[in-house]
Amino acid sequence: MIRHIVFFSVRDRKDVERVRTGLMELGSIPHSRFFEVALNDKVDPLSDEIDVVVYAEFEDEAALAAYKAHPTYAETTARIRPLRELRFSADFTSSAP
């Protein structure tokens, strides 16, 4: 299983909810086994610049590639990119259930 985690910071605080709801549209793409978008609770003071987190699980790299090739992914990215400051992504293979 591939775990896909993406962290976003938003340029303008007033757009945080707009970014979160926009990213939630990615959950309609059928290739993920699990998908969620959440606001960073900012409990750790060393990570307070991150505003929104996307977490998804995919069966394999092919499913992740199909997710990224889906038209909804391109449309969402085009709308969110101008609102974000930073974007960090990590993908890793997990054997955990």
Angle value at C-alpha 6, between 21 and 3, nearest 5 degrees = 115
Among all chains, which residue has been given the structure tokens 């930073």? 86
- Rounded distance between C-alpha atoms, residue 63 and residue 40, angstroms: 26
Q: Provide the residue range defining the domain that includes 79.
A: 2-93
- Does 97 score more than 90 pLDDT? no
Residue type, 3: R
Do residues 64 and 4 touch, judged by C-beta distance below 8 A? yes
The model's pTM: 0.92
pLDDT digit string, tens, across residues 21-35: 999 999 999 999 999
Q: Average pLDDT over the chain, rounded to whole?
A: 96
Check which CATH number belongs to the domain holding 46 and give it.
3.30.70.100
| Domain count across the chain | 1
Its sign, for the CA torsion 59, 61, 63, 68, is positive
How many CB atoms sit inside 10 A of residue 18's CB? 14
pLDDT digit string, tens, across residues 39-80: 999 998 887 899 999 999 999 999 999 999 999 999 999 999
